Amino acid sequence: MTPEPAAGTDPSAAPELAHVGPDTPVADVLAAVSAWIEDHVPAPWREAADNGGPAQVRRVRSPEQYRAWYPVYGRSGLVAPGWEVRYGGLAWPRETAAAVDKLTARYHLPRLNPLGLNLAAPALFAHGTEEQRLRFLPPMVRADEVWCQLFSEPGSGSDLASLSTRASRDGDWWVINGQKIWTTWADQAAFAVLLARTDPDVPKHQGITYFLIDMRQPGIEIRPLRHMGGETEFFQVYLDGARVPDTQRVGAEGGGWKVAQATLSGERQMVSGASSGGVDRIGGGSTRHLIRLARQLSADGGPGGWDDPAMRGRLVRLYCEERARAWTNQRVRAGVARGRAPGPESSIGKVHGTELNQRVQAAAADLLGAAGLAWPGAADDPEDYARSMPAEVRGMLRSRANTIEGGTSEVNRNVLAERVLGLPKEPDPWRGKPWRELPKS
Amino acid sequence: MDGTDLDAILVLVRDLIRQRVIPHEAAIDETDEMPASLRDEAARVGLFGFAIPEEYGGLGLSMAQEVRLVMELGYTTPAFRSMFGTNNGIAGHVLLEGGTPEQKEEFLPKLASGEWTASFALTEEEAGSDPAGLATSLTASGSGYVVEGTKRYITNAPVADVFMVFARHADGPASGKISVVLVEAGTPGVTVGPKDQKMGQHGAWTADVGFRGVQVPAAALIGRPGEGYGIAMRCLAHGRLHIAALCVGLAQRALDETVTYALARRQGGQPIAGYQLIQGLIADSQTDVLAGRALVISAAAAFDSGADRRLGPSCAKYFCSEMVGRVTDRAVQVHGGAGYMRGVPAERFYRDARLFRIYEGTSQIQQLVIAKQVLRAAAGRS
């Protein structure tokens, strides 16, 4: 296994929390966490939180400052308070952890490394070995090791199980050859969860194995992809003789599809905002931001803002829908907190939440009017496009991917029809046939 | 122009778009630059003056003919049409509607041949759909006027030879009213700012234009003092049908890209076009395109006959600009991850299409115009 000392939570990083045990009353836990915040969260951030909540914190704190401070948070265990101490958490009951999340929300302490926490960790908890958890979870919590996901391929998106990347045995190692795409954070990642085909002679779902692969090795090359918003958020990853030790296989050989299911459900929740992790939407701000923007527009005497009854009606409809979405997400989280695996409701949330976010972000861009279509900038510099664009335009363009990433709306509607409503399955003429015989894209 | 001639031009333009412009599309988006060769070819085919009468060197198309041509033009990057849109549109029309015979003789042939690129300079920081805040001023000076002010988001400004500038009289009998003056780009005091950064429609440039103590002769004023704004408003219906037709063309292209991809892309061992939910997206887009096309054609016929020059154009502009937004959105969805990435036409058209709901009167303005017409007609009957 990739060597790296990886201790769990560091008690010296959070002496304020030392006396908290599984039976400590929630009120005492919250007092201890408040003391920790007082001692460790920089004063300007705390003042900003007290004066204007998370939005004000975002204004006074740069992402770089937050990243520089993050190890303090990571070592405290508060990033994953429900996890065992040896994994980097605090072993607190789920209800306590949820109450703590509520308390810290106003300080805006988002969890970095969401692909590790939301995708890799569930797979490790469900199917990993104790050695794997001890090795990988603590540095994941601290974001010392950032994670990415090597699932999608140019020819295998919605039909992920048709993937072609091959893993071949070489003694105690596996040798990987293939090409992956849409990999977020491949440039920062130390590790990736990887699906690769270990047996082409069995049906497509049965020949896949799940690995944890070291991204920093000679057999891996990454190339950036520029997306609609002009940024290079995604990468293509070329695996050319990359190597993984068998100790970093998760689950059985050929059992990777089952392991991936734990991960995909996590991704759907993340994109839909139902996750208990730090990402509440991918692309843009909330309807509260819209309403502020509309009020400002009207206060400045512009047309089409809060004083425009048609726009006001549109914003209020979106606000109501977003509240309904948020309450539904709370229900999912409550279920997860009681130990229920996220199931069909994550597909429902994915379909609704992503389409809703696109409508919210479209309204935000509409509020800008012409300023959302053209703006001052260095038009001749290709990097300037993303840099100079208004935040609302960035949110609108980014949200366009929401109904595609993490399972398209069409695939998720099929999942809902088949697994929730019990409707007949989409006919599959290749069912049961070996992967080798399938026509490829 | 008679029907046979029009059919010949449509074939020519269709070939130009598909053989010459489409291969350059990706590079135009990436470099934000329209190749000079394409401008020359557009001028050669007569695209700078298709709406200008033949006596001034244009093609003199009727509205019904123009929308058929523009649907062809819509089949590629909207930046191509932007090169000559203003010459045919508001600039040429303001001259036709309000210009003196001398002004028409002097300026229309230059617009029709493409010798000049015209820019329409109405929008300002505080004035767009509603001209109430228009601050650019026109002050009498000697035998002419002085223009003073700043315009925003002016299409073609960096390459324009002439600006049709909307300005408010600061003095004289027309004080407070808005006129249109023709200002040549080289006139002292005219400054064009850096190109704006834009969400889409790269290759069509917009920029701020400043007018600082710009002296123009009295003959530069279109129509009588204070009439310009009214003249321009009378030209709007023509522009709305034009944009509606452009949206139909772009929607047709986005649909064709969608269908081609859905047939080629395989998932689950079959083309994704075999899946019912993908078929649903294609069917909705095809229905949208046909509805838009039918609406534009019938509204253009009513425009030519004089039966309706207000309601139909606004309905067509409103429906078709929203429609192309839906169709390009579905195009991205069917393309999946590829549709979200640069280098794929569906991605580009999604960014390009958004402008259509905003300029030449936003959807909200069209709703107001439509409702006003309908309610006025109903009140007239009771």
pLDDT tens profile A294-318? 999 999 887 789 998 989 999 999 9
Superfamily name and number for A273-407:
Butyryl-CoA Dehydrogenase, subunit A, domain 3 (1.20.140.10)
**Catalytic residue flag (residue B360):** yes
Q: Which chain B residues are closer than 8 Å to A403 by Cβ?
A: 333
Structure tokens at B198: 């834009």
Q: What is the pLDDT of residue A278?
A: 30
Whether A370 and B358 lie within 8 Å, measured CB to CB: yes
Element (H, E) at B151: strand B144-155
Most confident of A13-17, A53-57, A174-178, A325-329: A174-178
What value does the mean pLDDT take over residues A82-106?
89
Q: Which of the four pLDDT bands, split at 50, 70 and 90, describes residue A279? A: very low
| Residues on chain A touching B339 (C-beta within 8 angstroms) | 404
- Could you say which of B197, B266, B343 has the minimum Cβ distance to residue A374? B197
Question: Of A102, A179, A198, A186, which Cα lies nearest the Cα of A149?
Answer: A186
Lowest pLDDT segment from A54-68, A114-128, A326-340, A390-404: A326-340
CB contact under 8 A, A430 and B266: no
Averaged pLDDT of chain A: 88
Q: Which of A400, A403, A416 to mutate to test the interface with B (most CBs of B within 10 A)?
A: A400
Q: Is A63 on the interface with B (CB under 8 A)?
A: no
Q: How far is A122 from chain B (nearest CA, A)?
A: 25
Chain A residues within an 8 Å CB radius of B346: none
Q: What is the DSSP letter of B127?
A: B
Give A269 or B316, the one with higher predicted confidence. Answer: B316
CB contact under 8 A, B337 and A428: no
Q: Beta strands of A19-170 (E only): which ranges?
A: 147-150, 166-170
User: What is the chain A residue with the closest CA to B31?
Assistant: A380
Interchain proximity A375–B196, CB inside 8 Å:
yes
Chain B nearest-CA residue for A234? B341
3-class SS of residue A46: helix
If pLDDT is split at 50, 70 and 90, which confidence band does A169 have?
A: very high
Spatial distance between the Cα atoms of A97 and A277, rounded to a whole number of angstroms: 12
Q: What is the pLDDT of residues A387-404, one digit of tens each?
A: 899 999 999 999 999 999
Whether A183 and A199 have beta carbons less than 8 Å apart is answered as: no
Spatial CB neighbours of A381, under 8 Å, sequence gap ≥ 6: none
Residue ranges of B 60-119 with Cβ closer than 8 A to chain A = none
**Average confidence (pLDDT) over A323-345:** 78
Q: Closest-CA residue in chain A for B263?
A: A441
* Best CA proximity match to B155, nearest among B94, B207, B90: B207
DSSP string, A146-175: -EEEE--BTTBSSSGGG---EEEEETTEEE
Q: Give the pLDDT of residue A99.
A: 87
pLDDT greater than 50 at residue A275 = no
pLDDT band at A276 (very low <50, low <70, confident <90, very high): very low
Position A267 scores a pLDDT of 60
Indicate whether A356 pLDDT > 60.
yes
B210 touches chain A (CB under 8 A): no
- Is some CB atom of chain A closer than 8 A to the CB atom of B332? yes
In angstroms, rounded to a whole number, what is the distance separating the alpha carbons of residues A323 and A315?
12
Which one, of A394, A268, A236, lies nearest residue A336 by Cα? A268
Q: Which of residues 29-48 of B touch A (CB under 8 A)?
A: 30, 32
Size of interface A-B (CB pairs under 8 A): 134
Q: How far apart are CA A415 and CA A14, in angstroms?
A: 44
Backbone angles phi, psi at A259, to 5 degrees: -65, -40
Whether the per-residue pLDDT at A155 is higher than 60: the answer is yes
Identity of the residue in A310, A379, A404 whose CB atom sits nearest the CB atom of B364:
A310
Q: Where are the domains of chain A?
A: 11-109, 111-271+428-441, 273-407
* Domains of chain B in sequence order: 3-113 (1.10.540.10), 118-226 (2.40.110.10), 230-381 (1.20.140.10)
Instruction: For residue A302, give the chain B residue with the closest CA.
Output: B126
pLDDT at residue A376 is higher than 50? yes
Distance CA A275, CA A286 (A): 16
Residues 186-245 on A with a CB inside 8 Å of B are 225-228, 230, 234
pLDDT in tens, chain B (382 residues): 788 889 999 999 999 999 999 999 999 999 999 999 999 999 999 999 999 999 999 999 999 999 999 999 999 999 999 999 989 888 888 899 899 999 999 999 999 999 999 998 988 987 766 777 899 999 999 999 999 999 999 999 999 999 999 999 999 999 999 999 999 999 999 999 999 999 999 999 999 999 999 999 999 999 899 998 888 888 888 999 999 999 999 999 999 999 999 999 999 889 999 999 999 999 999 999 999 999 999 999 999 999 999 999 999 999 999 999 999 999 999 999 999 999 899 999 999 999 999 888 889 889 999 999 999 999 988 7
Q: Is the Cβ of A179 closer than 8 Å to some Cβ of chain B?
A: no
**For A119-154, what is each residue's pLDDT tens digit?**
899 999 999 999 999 999 999 999 999 999 999 999
Residues A333-340: what's their mean pLDDT? 76
Pairwise CA distance, residues A321 & A277, whole Å = 22
**Which residues, in sequence order, are bridge partners of residue B178?**
B168
What's the complex ipTM?
A: 0.88
Least Cα separation, residue B190 to chain A (angstroms): 19
Residue A265: pLDDT above 70? no
State percent of chain A over pLDDT 90. Answer: 61
pLDDT digits (tens, 9 = 90+) for A206-218: 999 999 999 999 9
The CATH classification number of A111-271+428-441 equals: 2.40.110.10
